[in-house]
Structure 1
Amino acid sequence: MSAPGPRHPFLDHPLPLAFAHRGGGTAGTENSLAAFADAVRLGYRYLETDVHATRDGVLVAFHDLTLDRVTDRQGAVADLSWHEVSRARIGGTEPVPRLEELLDAFPEARLNIDVKAVAAVVPLVETVRRANAWHRVCVSSFSEQRLARVRALAGPRLATSLGPRGVLALRVRSLTGRVPVDRLLGPVLRRGAVCVQVPERSSGVTVVDRAFLRAAHARGLQVHVWTVNDEPSMRRLLDLGVDGIMTDNVRGLRAVLVERGSWPATGR
């Protein structure tokens, strides 16, 4: 079965979708305005990022619970004020951006946002509302509870991906055909789930194959695979028929799509 038409404006773009994961993580400045700007200059129109809330409720585009790994400062984001977080430098040079800054800086870009903590849920929905960015944001999470809260607050105007339970049900259904997955997924699809975002393999078990793609497409869900950094894997997944790839290797993915005549990001 071919890929479904878009269920939400977020997906209204030629396939396959190319996502710059954390803006492109190979230069040591992941989730910085500089990284996202570089990806946009290359032609990316889908940017993947993460959000946490500071102690005083400011929503920042940042992956880790703490500043320690990628910045010149230490401490848990949730325990620090925005003033303290704003003094940190990613890779020693780049400030930690607020999500609102990303939405303002790249008005033509679409943001795929992994909500990393329950404290970030309300600020996330409020930020999208203030920016009137419902059409260009998709929210994902490893937490069913966080996704359910996002959907309850925003409704179907905000695109979301399936959570872990939905992915598991879809995978089992694709293998056996016996799980009544539609009973589980029906309300989720009505509330805004438009895609499945998964690794190709998890804990040594294959997730993405033709059966999984058929099961997802039959329910109107696109399949986006993360985080794919080597070019042979990109080619294999594209040949399989995935609808999108998330990568740190933004130049590599662009080169693969250009050579295939399917670089879709700018339409140039």
Structure 2
Amino acid sequence: MIRRLLKLVFKILGSIVVILLLFILVVNIIPPKKDIAENPFISTTGKPMIVAHRGGKESNPENTMKAYKASVNEYEVDVLETDLWLTKDNELILMHDETITRTSDVRLFHSEAQMAKPAVREFTLEELRNFNFGYNFEKNGAFPYRNLVAQDAPNRKQILKDNDLSVVTFDEFLGEFYNDHKDLLFIVEIKNSGEEGFRAAEIINEVLGRYPDYKNRLVVGTFHDEIEAHLKANYPEILRGASTSVATQFVITSLVGMNLFDKNKFACLQIPLKAKGIDLTNKSIIKRAHRRNIAVQYWTINNEEDMKKLIKLGVDGIMTDNPELLKQVLDNM
């Protein structure tokens, strides 16, 4: 009696295992629906695209026109990456940090006692144009732009603009390259959260209306779930990058081979080499992303060996602070 019961139990368990294996097989065979019909961020050349992170901040002052012009004209990058903050008068500018202390000479004008936290949101656009955003840039132990213009120079703003070290608006950013570089791609991240982030999204949409050829060549990312939901609901035609939570979900389900039922839609998966000790340089992540027409981009890669590893892996884009180095690596492979 016990023997027959054990046989029945093993038979049931065997059937369950077979069903599970068949289910996994079917899940991996069924072609998933593509998130977008055409994705310009997927590489078609057999080599990853060069993504100039903040314009390439190892070569030039970050998020300045000087950096972006060099990336396009000297290093022949494919994608320009930047971050966006709203100013006091609701202008959308290129800036990574919430404050401007690290990248500008604001402390020459406002001491810590006068202004403990010189945030972007504390200044109007015109006020920001008075600061030198190459002031703290260091290269080979020197600060090449620290003495560019005197603090009290009457034509200070013009000198900074002429040297491409003035603050840059999102409109100026796209406008600079629009006529001669229609093939450029862009990655932008909305830094503001809540209502301010919603306003930033509105401005992005308005500016893209003035540069229509870039509308399908720009992807918007954010770390704020409410901004991603807002973009999805109100600007579905704008390409989106996966938020942190969405990217995490996609990576986990890809690693276990079960992301057929992941309904999140986005154009670019932007991930680091590792996350919480887990190696993300996994071919299955790229394979599953490509099945859904999602581009895979890794950040922020400044080491030559890491670059070579990702190139061989077949990634779509490599975000780097040193586009000059990545170009050399690609040219030599």
TM-score range, shorter chain: 0.7 to 0.9
Is contact 1:23-1:32 (8 Å) kept? yes
Letter in 2 for 1:253: L
CA distance in structure 2 between the aligned counterparts of 1:100 and 1:127, rounded to whole angstroms: 6
CA distance in structure 2 between the aligned counterparts of 1:12 and 1:154, rounded to whole angstroms: 25
Letter in 2 for 1:234: M
Deviation, 1:208, is 2.9
2:227 aligns with one of 143, 146, 151: 146
RMSD between aligned residues: 2.2
Instruction: Tell which deviates more after alignment, 232-241 or 127-136.
Output: 127-136
State whether structure 2 residue 258 is matched by structure 1 residue 199.
no
Deviation, 1:81, is 1.1
State whether structure 2 residue 162 is matched by structure 1 residue 162.
no
C-alpha change, 1:46 and 1:182, in structure 2 (3 Å) is same
2:71 aligns with one of 18, 30, 39: 39
Structure 2 length as normaliser, TM-score?
0.70
State whether structure 2 residue 183 is matched by structure 1 residue 112.
no
Deviation, 1:12, is 7.3
State whether structure 2 residue 92 is matched by structure 1 residue 76.
no
CA distance in structure 2 between the aligned counterparts of 1:63 and 1:56, rounded to whole angstroms: 18
C-alpha change, 1:7 and 1:36, in structure 2 (3 Å) is same
| Residue in 1 that maps onto 2:324 | 251
C-alpha change, 1:17 and 1:222, in structure 2 (3 Å) is same
SS at match of 1:89: coil
Is contact 1:7-1:194 (8 Å) kept? no
| Residue in 2 that maps onto 1:23 | 55
Which of the pair has more CA radius of gyration? Answer: 2
C-alpha change, 1:219 and 1:10, in structure 2 (3 Å) is closer
SS at match of 2:267: strand
Letter in 2 for 1:204: G
Alignment of 1:231-250 (within 5 A): 231-250=304-323
Deviation, 1:43, is 1.1
Is contact 1:9-1:136 (8 Å) kept? yes
Is contact 1:57-1:123 (8 Å) kept? no
What are the superposed Cα offsets for residues 10-61 of structure 1, whole Å, 9 maximum, x if unpaired? 5576342111111101145001000000011121131111111101110101
| Residue in 2 that maps onto 1:91 | 134
CA distance in structure 2 between the aligned counterparts of 1:45 and 1:171, rounded to whole angstroms: 25
C-alpha change, 1:182 and 1:85, in structure 2 (3 Å) is farther
C-alpha change, 1:201 and 1:173, in structure 2 (3 Å) is same
Deviation, 1:216, is 1.6
The percentage of aligned residue pairs carrying the same residue is 28
Letter in 2 for 1:215: R
What are the superposed Cα offsets for residues 200-235 of structure 1, whole Å, 9 maximum, x if unpaired? 112332223112222222222111001100111000
Is contact 1:60-1:96 (8 Å) kept? yes
Structure 1 length as normaliser, TM-score?
0.86
Deviation, 1:69, is 0.7
Tell me, which stretches of 5 or more residues in structure 1 are unaligned? 261-268
1:101 aligns with one of 172, 191, 201: 172
SS at match of 2:62: coil
